[in-house]
Chain A
Amino acid sequence: MKLVIGIVRPEKANDVLEALYRADVRGVSMSRVQGHGGELERVETYRGTTVKMGLSEKVRFEIAVSDDFVEPAVGALQSGAQTGEVGDGKIFVVPLEQAVRIRTGETDKGAVTPVEGQ
């Protein structure tokens, strides 16, 4: 079991969701985060005050998957989020100790495998 974390451009979030759906990866959390990689800062001006926006809006996907689904999930994140410009984001895969489905008490693989027919 792994936790796949993808930090992507907000404007690509819908493309990522679509790619994940096509790869049969279900069970996704996403949140808005602010972060900084190596991308150029945007310069904005408000009434004579010029600022560099050091942090960019990003969307963070968290996907807990069984081992068979690690590659599809990573592939979907990459294909969905890629533009080729600096600032496309990162994917992290980390080991997952335990997973519990709250409704049934199922653990681990059972807990991260979507219920069929819903």
Chain B
Amino acid sequence: MTDLLLAGQASEIDTGDTAWMLVATALVLLMTIGLGLFYAGLVRAKNTLNTFMMCIAALAVATITWALVGYSWAFSPGNDIIGGFDYALLNGVGFEPNPDGLGATIPHLVFFAFQATFCIITTALVSGAVVERMRFGPFLIFAALWSLLVYSVLAHWGFGGGWLVDGGTLDFAGGIAVEMASGFSALAAALVVGARKDYGRQALLPHNAIYVLVGAGLLWFGWFGFNGGSGFNTGQNSVLAFTNTLLTPACSLMTWIVLDLIRGRKATAIGAATAIIVGCVLITPAGGFIAPGWAMALGVAGALPCYAVILWRPRTRVDETLDVLAAHGIAGLTGILFIGFFAQKSWNGIADGAAYGNFDQLVDQVLAAIATPAYAFVATFVLLKVIGALMPLRATVEEEAIGMDVTQHGEEAYLTGEGAILVSTEATRESRTPVAQPR
């Protein structure tokens, strides 16, 4: 029966792998909605919709840029730095597997869609640095250019045949292109756009901790597709990454609760939500390469630097508002370095880390941990400076005070409807009935 089914298709396509990758793609897409909820809960009520809309916008912008040329720059053969134009506009991306060997058992189209969801969420992640003050129009332009000039380039370096992956750097699901790229770009974006007007003067607090918790939960759920799908099959590395995605965040969460209890005598909910994200990020690069025991150790050890940066950052003048640097940049960097020490050939079938005698692996990982942050920071800094020279990046002080929902979108998240006067609907336009006015 299986043979008959396979005979009708390209011989290498595996139906089980393809089915899993279709599901994994949808799981990763849901993460962007989860991220929107997570971010929206962390800002003030008057900026809820604007914050969520930055993530929603990434669904449109990054998908389109990815289809136009982003995928090609990331995954088509090119040079060490960037791919070519072979797959631009999905040219040659069809039902046969990718000829370069990535996703050898699934249709190229599925591989494209799976990778597109990564570009989307990474673009959405960067918005966390500039929420509550950046104008929506310039953000759209920034998102489009960033997804091409930063994400696609780093995806080529880390996954698509660029100099890091060619040189032997191990990155299972995106410590380079997703986590370090978004984290260090966020730092640059926060520096260029500048702090919110009330930053450091008033307490700027999360307005809905429930959104934050539900968003973190959805992210963790989707992350099983993100990490579990990054082997592009249902093989051993994929299964290892899937289970490690359960183990590491659980250990980070426990560590965070204990750190909270030691520091403040109270375990905070928003801290717990943050810990889930940190744990998922930590295991992202390492998922398919380290043993489950080491994944648990990574969850504990990796939480420490992130916790420290989250405590330290608000005391600085840098309003990197939703701590993308700490939760993604630092955690991604920690995960990348961890592989250099504790990768195990007996588990991953590829390479050992320094702790198992292969010191070269650590060198390769350190190289990625230096080059990626440097490129992401500089490229984002220059890109935003250029956009900023052409148009104002920020809302005015008055608009920022009123709130971005009303000023950018003409809507409010928490509307009572009291006192709203109907101006026009299709019904009133036809009947020409005068609209009741209260004065």
Cα distance A42–B402 in the bound complex, in angstroms? 11
Mark each residue of chain B from 171 to 192: 1 if its CB lies under 8 Å from any CB of chain A, else 0.
Answer: 0000000000000000000000
Cα distance A44–B412 in the bound complex, in angstroms? 8
Whether B419 and A11, one on each chain, are in contact in the complex, defined by CB atoms closer than 8 angstroms, is: no
Known: A43-B410, A44-B406, A44-B410. A51 touches B401 (CB 8 A): no
The total of chain B residues at the interface (CB under 8 A) is 22
Q: Is B2 part of the binding interface, using a Cβ–Cβ cutoff of 8 Å?
A: no
A89 smallest CB distance to B (angstroms)? 14
Q: Is B166 part of the binding interface, using a Cβ–Cβ cutoff of 8 Å?
A: no
Segment from B82-90, B132-140, B420-428 that makes contact with A: B420-428
Cα distance A51–B437 in the bound complex, in angstroms? 12
Cα distance A16–B241 in the bound complex, in angstroms? 53
Binding site for A on B (CB under 8 A): 46, 198, 202, 398, 401-403, 406, 410-412, 416, 418-426, 438
Beyond A43-B410, A44-B420, 11 extra complex contacts between A and B, CB < 8 Å = A12-B401, A14-B198, A34-B419, A41-B421, A45-B410, A49-B422, A50-B423, A51-B423, A54-B420, A54-B421, A55-B420
Cα distance A85–B198 in the bound complex, in angstroms? 20
Known: A14-B202, A44-B406, A45-B411. A51 touches B418 (CB 8 A): no
Which residues between 53 and 71 of chain A lie within 8 Å of chain B, taking CB atoms? Answer: 53-55
Report which of B403, B418, B423, B438 forms a contact with A43, defined as CB distance below 8 A.
B423
Cα distance A36–B402 in the bound complex, in angstroms? 16
Which residues does chain B contribute within 8 Å of A49, judged by CB atoms?
Answer: 422, 424-425
A36 closest partner in B (C-beta): B419
Cα distance A19–B231 in the bound complex, in angstroms? 59
Whether B406 and A42, one on each chain, are in contact in the complex, defined by CB atoms closer than 8 angstroms, is: yes
Which residues does chain B contribute within 8 Å of A44, judged by CB atoms?
Answer: 406, 410-412, 420
Whether A55 and B398, one on each chain, are in contact in the complex, defined by CB atoms closer than 8 angstroms, is: no
Report which of B398, B412, B418, B424 forms a contact with A83, defined as CB distance below 8 A.
B398
Known: A44-B412, A46-B411. A55 touches B418 (CB 8 A): yes
Q: Is A103 part of the binding interface, using a Cβ–Cβ cutoff of 8 Å?
A: no
Q: Is A48 part of the binding interface, using a Cβ–Cβ cutoff of 8 Å?
A: yes
Whether B425 and A48, one on each chain, are in contact in the complex, defined by CB atoms closer than 8 angstroms, is: yes
Cα distance A30–B428 in the bound complex, in angstroms? 39
Which residues does chain A contribute within 8 Å of B419, judged by CB atoms?
Answer: 34, 36, 53-55
Cα distance A45–B426 in the bound complex, in angstroms? 13
Report which of B198, B401, B410, B438 forms a contact with A54, defined as CB distance below 8 A.
B438
The total of chain A residues at the interface (CB under 8 A) is 22
Q: Which 8 pairs from chain A and chain B are nearest by CB?
A: A55-B419, A11-B401, A51-B420, A50-B423, A52-B421, A54-B419, A44-B410, A54-B421
A56 closest partner in B (C-beta): B419
Which residues does chain A contribute within 8 Å of B423, judged by CB atoms?
Answer: 43, 50-52
B52 smallest CB distance to A (angstroms)? 15
A105 smallest CB distance to B (angstroms)? 35
A42 closest partner in B (C-beta): B406
Cα distance A48–B429 in the bound complex, in angstroms? 12
Cα distance A83–B403 in the bound complex, in angstroms? 15
A41 closest partner in B (C-beta): B421
B369 smallest CB distance to A (angstroms)? 41
A49 closest partner in B (C-beta): B425
Which residues does chain A contribute within 8 Å of B411, judged by CB atoms?
Answer: 44-46
B398 closest partner in A (C-beta): A83
Whether A52 and B420, one on each chain, are in contact in the complex, defined by CB atoms closer than 8 angstroms, is: yes
Which residues does chain B contribute within 8 Å of A50, judged by CB atoms?
Answer: 422-425
B206 smallest CB distance to A (angstroms)? 17
Cα distance A36–B421 in the bound complex, in angstroms? 13
B412 closest partner in A (C-beta): A44
Whether B398 and A48, one on each chain, are in contact in the complex, defined by CB atoms closer than 8 angstroms, is: no
A17 closest partner in B (C-beta): B202
Cα distance A42–B438 in the bound complex, in angstroms? 16
Which residues does chain B contribute within 8 Å of A46, judged by CB atoms?
Answer: 411
Cα distance A34–B412 in the bound complex, in angstroms? 15
B198 smallest CB distance to A (angstroms)? 7
Whether B402 and A11, one on each chain, are in contact in the complex, defined by CB atoms closer than 8 angstroms, is: yes
Which residues does chain B contribute within 8 Å of A53, judged by CB atoms?
Answer: 419-421
A74 smallest CB distance to B (angstroms)? 22
A-B residue pairs in contact (CB < 8 Å), sample of 11: A42-B410, A44-B411, A44-B420, A46-B411, A49-B422, A50-B423, A50-B424, A51-B420, A51-B422, A54-B419, A54-B421
Cα distance A36–B438 in the bound complex, in angstroms? 11
A9 smallest CB distance to B (angstroms)? 8
Cα distance A43–B411 in the bound complex, in angstroms? 9
Whether B412 and A48, one on each chain, are in contact in the complex, defined by CB atoms closer than 8 angstroms, is: no
Which residues does chain B contribute within 8 Å of A14, judged by CB atoms?
Answer: 198, 202
Best-buried of A12, A36, A48, A50 by chain B (most CB within 10 Å) = A50
Which residues does chain B contribute within 8 Å of A11, judged by CB atoms?
Answer: 46, 401-403
Cα distance A46–B406 in the bound complex, in angstroms? 12
Which residues does chain A contribute within 8 Å of B398, judged by CB atoms?
Answer: 83, 85
